[in-house]
Amino acid sequence: MIGALSDELDVLARRHRLETRFHDGRGRWRNAPPDSVVAALDAIRGGPGLDPDASDRPRSPMIAPVVVAWDGAAAVPLRVAPAAGSRTLECALQLETGETSEWTVSVDELSPVEDDGPDRRRRHLQRFELERLPFGCHELRLACGAEVAGCWVLSAPRTAWRWSDPPGVGVFAPLHALHSEDSWGVGDFSDLERFGSWLATLGARSTAVLPLLPVDYTGSPCDPSPYRPVSRLFWNELFVDPRRLPEFDTCVAARELAGSTGFTAELDRIRRGTRVDYQGALSPKRRVLALLAGHAVETPARWSEVEHWADGHAWARSFARFRASRERPLDAVAPWPESHHLYAQWAAHRQIDVLSDNATGLYLDLPLGVAPDGFDPAAFPAAFARGVETGAPPDELFPEGQAWGTPPPHPETARLDGYRYLRASLAHHLSAARALRLDHVMSLHRLYWVPSGASATDGVYVHYPAEELQAVVTIESWRHQTPVVGENLGTVPDYVNETLARRGLGRLHVGQFHVRVDAPAPLDPAPPGAVVSLNTHDTPTFAGFLAGRDIEERRMRGACSTQEAEQALERRGALAQALRRFLPTGTDTDAAALLRACLQTLAQGEGDLLLVTLEDLWLETRPQNVPGTGPELENWRGRAARSLDEVMADGAICGLLTRLVDLMDADT
Q: What is the CATH number of the domain that holds 429?
A: 3.20.20.80
CATH number of the domain encompassing residue 78: 2.60.40.2030
- Using 50, 70 and 90 to split pLDDT, how confident is the model at 334? low
For residue 544, the model assigns a pLDDT of: 97
Domain co-membership, 244 together with 319: yes
What distance in Å separates the CA atoms of residue 73 and residue 267, rounded to the nearest whole number? 59
Q: What is the dihedral of CA 648, 652, 654, 658, to 10 degrees?
A: -170
The pLDDT tens digits for 256-307 are: 999 999 999 999 999 988 899 999 999 999 999 999 999 999 999 999 999 9
From 340, 356, 372, give the residue that closes a domain: 356
The pLDDT tens digits for 530-553 are: 999 999 999 999 999 999 999 999
User: Number of structural domains, the chain?
Assistant: 3
Domain co-membership, 337 together with 429: no
The pLDDT tens digits for 360-374 are: 999 999 999 999 999
For residue 165, the model assigns a pLDDT of: 84
What proportion of the chain, given as a percentage, has pLDDT over 70? 93
- Using 50, 70 and 90 to split pLDDT, how confident is the model at 84? very low
Residue 168 lies inside a defined structural domain of this protein: no
For residue 126, the model assigns a pLDDT of: 81
Is a pLDDT exceeding 60 seen at residue 578?
yes
For residue 500, the model assigns a pLDDT of: 96
- List, in sequence order, the alpha helices (H) in 375-528: 375-379, 420-430, 466-479, 494-502
Domain co-membership, 421 together with 310: no
Q: What is the gyration radius of the CA atoms in the chain, in angstroms? A: 27
The pLDDT tens digits for 476-528 are: 999 999 999 999 998 889 999 999 999 999 999 999 999 999 888 899 988 88
Residue 67 lies inside a defined structural domain of this protein: yes
Residue 514 lies inside a defined structural domain of this protein: yes
Query: What is the extent of the structural domain holding 148?
Result: 62-156
Domain co-membership, 538 together with 655: yes
Cβ contacts of 468 within 8 Å, gap of 6 or more: 66, 68, 154, 415, 419
- Using 50, 70 and 90 to split pLDDT, how confident is the model at 473? very high
Is a pLDDT exceeding 50 seen at residue 50?
no
Domain co-membership, 375 together with 264: no
Domain co-membership, 297 together with 365: no
Task: Give how far Cα 310 sits from Cα of 248, 303, 317, 339, Å.
Answer: 21, 10, 7, 11
**Which H or E element spans position 530?**
strand 530-533
Residue 19 lies inside a defined structural domain of this protein: no
The answer to whether 185 and 281 are in contact (CB under 8 A) is yes
What distance in Å separates the CA atoms of residue 651 and residue 106, rounded to the nearest whole number? 74
How much is the mean pLDDT over the chain? 91
For residue 125, the model assigns a pLDDT of: 75
Residue 478 lies inside a defined structural domain of this protein: yes
Residue 390 lies inside a defined structural domain of this protein: no
The arithmetic mean of pLDDT across residues 156-166, rounded, is 93
Cβ contacts of 442 within 8 Å, gap of 6 or more: 488, 490, 491, 492, 493, 496
- List, in sequence order, the alpha helices (H) in 46-178: none
| Beta-strand pair 609-613/168-172 | parallel
Is a pLDDT exceeding 90 seen at residue 108?
no
Domain co-membership, 345 together with 417: no
For residue 425, the model assigns a pLDDT of: 98
Domain co-membership, 369 together with 338: no
Domain co-membership, 231 together with 365: no
Q: Is the pTM of this model over 0.85?
A: yes
Phi, psi (5° rounding) for residue 646?
Answer: -65, -40
For residue 398, the model assigns a pLDDT of: 84
Is a pLDDT exceeding 50 seen at residue 2?
no
Q: Which of 119-123, 202-206, 604-608, 661-665 has the lowest mean pLDDT?
A: 119-123
- Using 50, 70 and 90 to split pLDDT, how confident is the model at 583? confident
Is a pLDDT exceeding 50 seen at residue 53?
no
Partnered with residue 104 across adjacent β-strands are: 90
Give the HSE-up count for residue 663: Cα atoms under 13 Å, Cβ half-sphere. Answer: 21
- Is residue 224 reached through a cis peptide bond, with omega within 30 degrees of 0 on the bond before it? no
DSSP state of 523: B
What distance in Å separates the CA atoms of residue 369 and residue 410, rounded to the nearest whole number? 12
Residue 15 lies inside a defined structural domain of this protein: no
Domain co-membership, 270 together with 147: no
Domain co-membership, 572 together with 626: yes
Is a pLDDT exceeding 70 seen at residue 24?
yes
Is a pLDDT exceeding 70 seen at residue 57?
no
Please give the residue that has the higher pLDDT: either 75 or 423.
423
Please enumerate, as own/partner, the contacts of 224-227 that have beta carbons within 8 Å and a separation of 24 or more: 224/176, 224/276, 224/278, 224/631, 224/635, 224/636, 224/637, 225/625, 225/630, 225/635, 225/636, 226/365, 226/367, 226/636, 227/367, 227/368, 227/369, 227/404, 227/406, 227/439
What distance in Å separates the CA atoms of residue 657 and residue 195, rounded to the nearest whole number? 13
Residue 94 lies inside a defined structural domain of this protein: yes
Domain co-membership, 510 together with 638: yes
Is a pLDDT exceeding 60 seen at residue 187?
yes
What distance in Å separates the CA atoms of residue 87 and residue 317, rounded to the nearest whole number? 48
For residue 1, the model assigns a pLDDT of: 39
The answer to whether 352 and 432 are in contact (CB under 8 A) is yes
Is a pLDDT exceeding 50 seen at residue 55?
no
- Using 50, 70 and 90 to split pLDDT, how confident is the model at 52? very low
